[in-house]
Amino acid sequence: MSQEIAVVGSPEFTTGFRLAGVSRFENVPDDEKDAELDDAVTAALDDEGVGIVVMHDEDLEHLSRNVRQNVETSVEPVVVTIGAGTAGGGLREQIKRAIGIDLMEEDEQES
């Protein structure tokens, strides 16, 4: 069974991923995050077909203590957070740690 990527967040956040082909997503409008984000994240974490859950780093603040702890300790699926607090290299390292290979590795040959 192949592992898919799931994206959780506002419709503005998930749209780019959906355009790139991510078919699993949980849209939670900004004004409903305090009430609905826990359920959306829990649904993504409990989905056996999901290997990577992508969230905006600022959304972690809207999670309850228990769900945030689940996010921070989840190994499968791994949770990758992106946003203002995550540099490109940080995202690269999170994905590499999650799947065991560097997807962005370039051929090292000199031209």
For residue 57, the tally of other CB atoms under 10 A from its CB is: 14
Cα(41)–Cα(9) distance, rounded to whole angstroms?
Answer: 9
Cα(69)–Cα(63) distance, rounded to whole angstroms?
Answer: 9
Q: Is the pLDDT assigned to residue 38 strictly greater than 80?
A: yes
Q: Is the pLDDT assigned to residue 85 strictly greater than 60?
A: no
Domains and CATH numbers, the chain: 4-99 (3.40.50.10580)
Task: Write down the pTM of the prediction.
Answer: 0.75
Cα(22)–Cα(4) distance, rounded to whole angstroms?
Answer: 8
pLDDT (tens digit per residue) in 87-107: 445 666 666 666 666 655 665
Q: Rounded mean pLDDT of 44-51?
A: 95
Q: Is the pLDDT assigned to residue 59 strictly greater than 60?
A: yes
- Tally: H helices and E strands in the chain: 4, 4
pLDDT of residue 95: 64
